[in-house]
Amino acid sequence: MKLRLSVVLPCMLAVFLPFLARAQSELPKTIRLAKDNSEMVLVPAGEFTMGSEKLANEKPRHKVFLKDFYMDKFEVTNLLYYQFCKDTNRELPIHMTSGKMPAGRENHPVSNVSFSDAEAFCKWAGKRLATEQEWEKAARGIDGRIYPWGSGWDQNLSNNRTRSGEDTLPVGSIPRGASPYGLMDMSGNVWEWTDSWYKSYPNSPVNFDETGKNRVTRGGAYFYSIELLRTSYRHPLPPDDVSEYGGMRCALDPDKVKPINK
């Protein structure tokens, strides 16, 4: 006797979904690795909508499925990067060339780092840089929001040029601007390097591939506002670019997790 597909599929889902949910629940929501002791947040596996119809290089909106991954809750700080440089004898960034930590800026995001600097730090910490697909999902979640906090602009929910000061803020200073997963400063403060080369999306109205020339940075910085702080905005930079606006955060695959606590 042949069973109708409409009957078989719901039955199969009823059997397997509890196992899938149980498997997902076994992953801790937050972790810390021994090397840098920074909190990382789980971004669960699943599909999200990437891109927008705003700019040609963001088109088209398209579905992307990603496996589970972890992302640093905060941008890498001056203090952590200083410790990394001392531990590895790597050259300090220009704002630390005196050999000392800038007073009062220990918890500000590190800047003046190139792509290779960011990549080396993540490797030292036992992590890696996120792809731009991972970065965008971590910033906007699965509901297609324009900014980490939602779809309406609010100058008070990120460190951007419309606020007074025109300088970085200590990481996590604006908790109301967190992403759906609780990640801080995904909009503003400093641009963040990703591991992705700058290429057009599949079926894009423009065709380009700048592999070997430009990497994608994400998130905007304190001197930028509104349009450039959108979750879908793509900012290409040569890998050797170093500026006061550029920083990073790291990602990690669950099978690489060796936490010191959960």
- How long is the chain? 262
Task: Quote the CA–CA distance of 80 and 78 in Å, as a whole number.
Answer: 6
Mean pLDDT for all residues in the chain = 90
Going from N- to C-terminal start, the domains of the chain cover 28-261
Which pLDDT belongs to residue 166? 86
Locate 126 and state its tokens.
Answer: 């036992």
Mean of pLDDT values over 211-238: 96
Q: What is the DSSP letter of 133?
A: H
Percent of the chain scored above 90 by pLDDT?
82
Which pLDDT belongs to residue 19? 42
Mean of pLDDT values over 47-65: 97
Task: Quote the CA–CA distance of 165 and 159 in Å, as a whole number.
Answer: 9
CATH classification code of 28-261: 3.90.1580.10
Which pLDDT belongs to residue 11? 45
Mean of pLDDT values over 93-111: 92
pLDDT of residue 101 exceeding 50, the answer is yes
Q: What is the pTM of this model?
A: 0.88
Task: Quote the CA–CA distance of 38 and 77 in Å, as a whole number.
Answer: 10
Name the helix (H) or strand (E) containing 16.
Answer: helix 5-25
Task: Quote the CA–CA distance of 92 and 152 in Å, as a whole number.
Answer: 39
pLDDT of residue 81 exceeding 70, the answer is yes
Which pLDDT belongs to residue 170? 98
pLDDT tens string 180-210: 999 999 999 999 999 999 999 999 999 999 9
